[in-house]
Every structure is written in structure tokens, then in C-alpha cells.
């Protein structure tokens, strides 16, 4: 696995994959509830993932609404279905866990959607931050609720994160 870290307006991010496809985009540092840590078999290459870096810069500047990068997502069939549903949530919009469950054809599976959402290995690009509680409140997010709010505010045009 090849990896690098980058600074972003929402803190340090870890990017990892096979060199051509991204399989991890993880928040690092304070507030991150779910962090991926490189192990000794991983190789750091700070020149890798140039296209992903550029697309993230555009996203944080408010000029990119979706991503065009090759992903290597690994999960169960259920998780992959949920993650595909997340990618279909339009920029600047949110969906509830129940709405995602209905979209993947399992009406009473909001909790299972929450678990799959929490296992999303590619934050921001697979926009798990766009999933909220049934009442619209912010709920769990691997990067922490402050980051989730910042990403949603950016997409709603209420916050400019790029410097």
C-alpha cells in the first residue's frame, strides 16, 4: 500500500492505495474518531495521488462538486451498495439513514446503513458526511462532528474553507 498525508482546511488527511486507485481517505489528528494508521508494510510516497490532491483542493475551494478518481473500495456487498448510494447524494444536500436504507431496498435497515456509513474507507469522496439523522441532526462521523459540520457548511455555501 502506498500512502501520503496532506494538509486540508479540515485537518490532516491520509491518502492510501495501490498507486493508481485510492482505497483510503482518512481524517487524522484531534477529533477524528476513526483513523487509519499506516503499518510497516506501507510505503510513503509524497508524490503520489496528485489528481486526488488537485480534486480535493478544488473541492475545498468550492469549485468541485463531485470527484473523478479511481477507487478500490473493499467491503461487503451491502456496504458497497450503501457507499454507491452515498455517491449519488448531490453536493449540498443530505439524506437520512432511513432514506438511504429505502434506496438500497431495505426499508428497516437505517442502523445497518449507519454501520456501513461508519465503515466508509474513503471519506469526502464517498460523501458519508451528507448522511444525517431522521430529524436532520448531525450524528456520528469518523472525522468528528465539527468536521462534518464544516463540510456541510462548505457545500451549502455558508463557509469558505480554502485559504
The set of catalytic residues is 128
Other beta carbons within 10 Å of 40: 5
Buried b (16+ CB within 10 A) or exposed e, 73-102: beeeeebebbbebbeebeeeebbbbbbbbb
Q: Locate 14 and state its grid cell.
A: 491520509
- Count the alpha carbons within 13 Å of 113 in the hemisphere toward its beta carbon: 27
Amino acid at each position: 500500500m502506498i500512502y501520503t498525508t496532506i494538509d486540508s482546511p479540515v485537518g490532516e488527511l491520509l491518502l492510501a492505495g495501490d498507486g493508481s486507485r485510492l482505497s483510503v481517505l482518512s481524517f487524522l489528528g484531534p477529533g477524528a474518531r476513526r483513523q487509519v494508521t499506516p503499518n510497516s508494510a506501507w510505503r510513503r510516497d509524497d508524490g503520489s495521488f496528485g489528481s486526488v490532491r488537485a480534486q480535493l483542493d478544488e473541492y475545498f475551494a468550492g469549485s468541485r462538486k463531485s470527484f473523478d478518481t479511481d477507487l478500490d473500495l473493499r467491503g461487503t456487498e451491502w456496504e458497497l451498495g450503501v457507499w454507491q448510494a452515498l455517491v449519488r447524494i448531490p453536493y449540498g444536500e443530505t439524506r437520512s439513514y432511513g432514506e438511504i436504507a429505502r434506496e438500497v431496498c431495505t426499508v428497516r435497515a437505517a442502523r445497518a446503513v449507519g454501520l456501513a456509513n461508519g465503515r466508509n474507507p474513503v471519506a469526502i469522496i464517498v460523501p458519508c458526511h451528507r448522511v444525517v439523522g431522521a430529524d436532520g441532526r448531525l450524528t456520528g462521523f469518523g472525522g468528528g462532528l465539527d468536521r462534518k459540520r464544516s463540510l456541510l457548511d462548505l457545500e451549502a455555501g455558508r463557509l469558505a474553507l480554502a485559504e
